[in-house]
Every structure is written in structure tokens, then in C-alpha cells.
Structure 1
Amino acid sequence: MLVENNVALQPFNSFGIAARAQRFARVCSEADLTGLMSGPDWAAPVFVLGGGSNLVITGDIKALVLKVDIPGRRLVEETAKGWVVEAGAGENWHQFVAWTLVQGWPGLENLALIPGSVGASPVQNIGAYGVELQDRFHSLDAIDLQTGRAFTLDAAQCGFGYRDSVFKHVPTDARSFGLAGRALITRVRFLLPKPWKPVLGYLDLERKMAETGIHTPDAQQIFDWVVAIRRAKLPDPAVIGNAGSFFKNPTVTPEQCADIIARDPKVVHYPMPDGSIKLAAGWLIDACGWKGKSVGNAAVYEKQALVLVNRGGPSHPCTGGEVMTLAKAIQTSVYERFGIRLEPEPVVV
């Protein structure tokens, strides 16, 4: 397996930040990885790179970068409960979602057009329009980057939370369980349930139903609506570099929400099943006047304040430092006005 030196990472991160990997290897199969780990080119630390859509690179990476390109899509089994569908970690997420619908296996349509790879989806527990990955997750396969052993995890073992999983945590002691930097996901399986039920609770989808007069949409219709909504709001990374939603939507207590509503009645908020209230981070940022503002070549997208973009272009891209300076300024502004600390979604390296 070829390990390349001094590889440009600009094509491998959706923000288009210019940086280099001191050492770089493509992993196209489990055998590629185990062979690399047993050979002379293997050396810790390593950095696992998926689709690069949830990543801010602040400098050159000295660790061995493992670019995950494992392909494959298949139906594992069909039962009375649903379809168990598997995809290789290197598969494009949106293309995989579209493929499941073509096969007649609905359930992932609300997650259409989320950038990135299938292997990265459980790390972030991606979600949109009322559905999170954990709602459709079955199990995954991974390889331990310390021992080389393969293992399988179910949903409980993945420790899913809001934009969170065990893959984002480093173990703090011998009794804690964290897999950040320790595991490479190779394949992910999803349980697409029978009978299929549409998830339509979000305001944007309700507006689409009102606009079209379609009140009982099928899965393909919801997919098309989600794609149209996201394209209208969010920049295409192929045109304008970005990492998608940059901040998590914060959750507050009903009392905190009532206090904010008393000062800002138009605040966008959603009640959660556990009694907490989720606030729209994009609304908070917009209310602080950040839409369209920039730091160097990093800017807040004019159409959606939740998205930070690269205004520098391919030849003079923004730096990771500019992105994080802008992000920290936004965090300070929101905290000073609302008393809420916004947490970034992307991985910062």
C-alpha cells in the first residue's frame, strides 16, 4: 500500500483550506488498513479522514492521514421490521440516500444532501428535519487502530447524543470508553423500518406541503423537498467552501427560554421530548448582526448565518486561523447578548 509524502489536503476538505499532510494513505478496503498496520510505514499518531465535510484544518497535519475510500452498497436482509442496508465507509452519503430510495427502501429521505461520507455519519450522529442517524442506525464495523482487530458496535455501544458519539471522545481513564483517534469505521448498516412513516414536523416541510397542496407525500417527495430547501439555504461546497452548519443548536431549560422570549419574542425555538427547548443557533447569530460579515477570507454566509464560508477562492483560500477567529468572535457575541455558549460542530485540527 502506497504512503505518499507532503500531500495537499485542500481537495480533501469541503472548506477548501490549504494545508498539507506529512504522510497520506488511501484505505480502500479492510485489507489495505491491516496490511499498512503490519508494515514498516505504520506509525502513530494517525488521523482518519472521511469526506472532509465537517473539518477545519488549522495547519499542516504531521500525523499519518488515512483517507477512507471503502466502497460498497448492499441489502443485508429484509425482515418484517424493515430493511437492513449496508454501505462502505467511503460511500458518498447523499448518493447512498438517493440509492436506497431507488431500491424502494425509504427512511433516510430527511437526511438528503448532507455532505460527507457514510463512515463519518455515525461519528457526528448527523441529523436534519426531525431525523437523526441514530433513529435509523443498526450497527457498524470498525478496526482498532492500536491492535488491528476488527469489531462491531450496536447503537447503544456508539453512545449517540446530539451531534455526538463515542467516536468523538477520548477515554479519560481505564474505566471510560472513548474511541476518538482509536478506531476507523469500515462499514455502516441501517435499519429502514416497516411500515414507513413520513417525518414532517419541521416548519420548512410544513410550508412545502402548504405550497404544493401535497399533504401525504411519499419518501421521494420528501427527499426532493429536503434537497430543494437545503439548496435554497446552504451553499454548495463545490462552489463556495464551507463545512455546513458550523454551530450546534443549543438546548436550554423552559425557564431560560422564557427569559429569552421575554427579551426577544421572535427567537426560533423547538420543544424537545425531554422537556428541554432547542434554540436555532442560526437565528441567534443573525440576531447579533453577523450575517455577511467576515474575518479575512472567512465569512458568515449571507443566506444562512449558521454557515461559515471560504470567500478566498481556490488560489487564495481562507486559513483555518481565520475561520476559528471568526467563530470565536461569534461565540462571544452570542454569549454577551443571550448568555448562551455556542459549540462548534466541525472537528478542528
Structure 2
Amino acid sequence: LIDGLDEEYYKKFYLHYNFPPYSVGETGRMGAPGRRELGHGSLAERALSYVLPSIEDFPYTVRLVSEITESNGSSSQASICGGSLALMHAGVPIKEHVAGIAMGLIKKGDDYVVLTDIMGLEDHLGDMDFKVAGTKTGITALQMDMKIAGISEDIMRIALKQALDARLQILTLMNSTIQNTNELAPTVPRIHQMVIPKDKIAVLIGPGGKNIKGIIEATGATIDIEDDGRVAIFCQGLDVLERTITLVNGYVKDVEVGEVYTGKVVNIAKFGAFMEILPGKEGLLHVSEISLERVANVEDVLKVGDTFEVKVISTENGKVSLSRKKLLQEMAAE
């Protein structure tokens, strides 16, 4: 929530830029950010914002912090390069790398020289500080400070061309260092969104919330269900997420012929075993479908609590028929 002078609004991405006095060999108070910090942070944030994924694809709030420990050049452009590397290292699926470069100018009369990647002294004594940030295909942010009345179109063209050459060189190095795998670290808190049929919402919730409460207690996840069928899962770690998704699907997915499920024996009869293949959904494993060999007595080969894979071979009249023999035959054929 951004609570400023304007009307309140929300942001999903923000960059904090910290420039302590010791980074330029000075002493001073370290308090609230000043105008310089806010401006440079805003520039870097804007440069990176265009490559971020949509909220639908990546429903996280991302906070990026750039700590400047030493500076004799454009720390805002360094923040863009470092921020792009950090986002990829974290597994944020950004479209591509973003790099920035600061261009300078020394002009006397009609003579001039455009400088690439200016240092502090060249910024202080020069006539222009022109920051250009972007990807290999385009510019995402610009900022120019000038100490002269203006520049010509030729100077602008030269500055942009040199900035492009420098940016491509930096991007080549960045891409050789790290490329996006779009894989979050296993320990990253997970947010997953899925859509279920509206007529399955009541089934997932269960009587008095029994089903959804059971999933939450079993996994520790937080689950939000919207009226339009959107389900948002929040949990710690990939393993917990996968388990939660499996349990949710167990209530909302229909059993399909040909699918393989990991079932659990819940009851044994003379003619076969009843197995739970999804939460609250059972099927019959007939005695003739237990093994490749003939089984005379079900209790000789199975007991309540046994867990193994079975294949759905029929759902006629709402009755689910299972087979272990079919899977064994397929494995033998391979």
C-alpha cells in the first residue's frame, strides 16, 4: 500500500535504493531517504518494471533492495544491472535482462566528445549526465541532466548509439553469468492459483468446511476460494505445495478411465478389495485384477492399509473398477 500525497494505491513491485554517506567516503546521518535516493530508486524501478511478469503469471509482491557500498560512477545504473541479476537468481520469471549505462559530454564551442560510462569527476566537470537503461531490443528508462542550454540531434544520436553498444556489451556479460530458469528455490514461499468448476466449490469446502479444513490441517497451507472458482494456495516450500494441489484435485477432479492413481486398501471382501484412490472416492479392485497369477484368497496378498498404483478400467453406472494386473502387464511388455 502506497500512502503518499496522492490517492492511496497498491504496487506489486518496488525497489529500495540506499546510498549511505560512507559509499563516497563521507560521514553523515543515515535516516529517511532523500530526494536523490528516491529519484534514483524510482529510475531503477521503472527500468526493471517492464520485464516483470504479470500478476496472473507471478502473483508475488517483489521487493528489491540495492545497497550502494562504494560509488564513483552511476550507482543507479549499477542498481539496474544488479537488480536484474538478483531477480533472475531468485527465480522471478522476468522476460530478459536489463542493463543501464551513464553517458557524459564534454563540449566547448562546436567541439564535443561523448563519453561512455562516466565516473564521478566526469559527471562533476562534464556538461551532461545521460542515463540509458534497457534490454537488447529496446529502452525501458531514460534520464538526462544537463549543465548547458541544450544539445543537438547529432549529439543525441551519438549518445544513444554509444549507449546501445555499451548496453549490449554489458548484457552479453550478464547473460553469460546467469540466465532465467524460471525456477524458484525450493525454500521460497509458494503462491499457486488454479481454477476449479463452480459446481465443485461446495465439494471442496465440504459440510461445515470439513474438507478444506482437513487439507489446511494436513499441509499447513492457506487456501482462499473465490466464488468464480479461483483457488489460491499459499504455503512454505515446493513439497507442501505439491501435496496441497494433490489433495485439492482429489476433491474436484473426476475419476477418468485410463488414469493411474495411487490407491489405499480400505476394505477387503471375498470378491476383491475396495481402494480409496482420491479423497472420498473409492473403487473396486476385483480379485481377478489383483495379480498376473490367479488369486484364490484376497487376504493372502492384500491387507487394509496397503498402498500401490492401480489403473481405472471402468466407471460404468458410477461404479469405479480398478486393475493392478493391467499395470503389471504394461510393465512386462516394456
- TM interval, short-chain normalised: under 0.3
Query: TM-score w.r.t. structure 2 length?
Result: 0.23
Larger Rg: 2
Q: Which has the higher contact order (CA 8 A, sep 6+)?
A: 1
Query: TM-score w.r.t. structure 1 length?
Result: 0.22
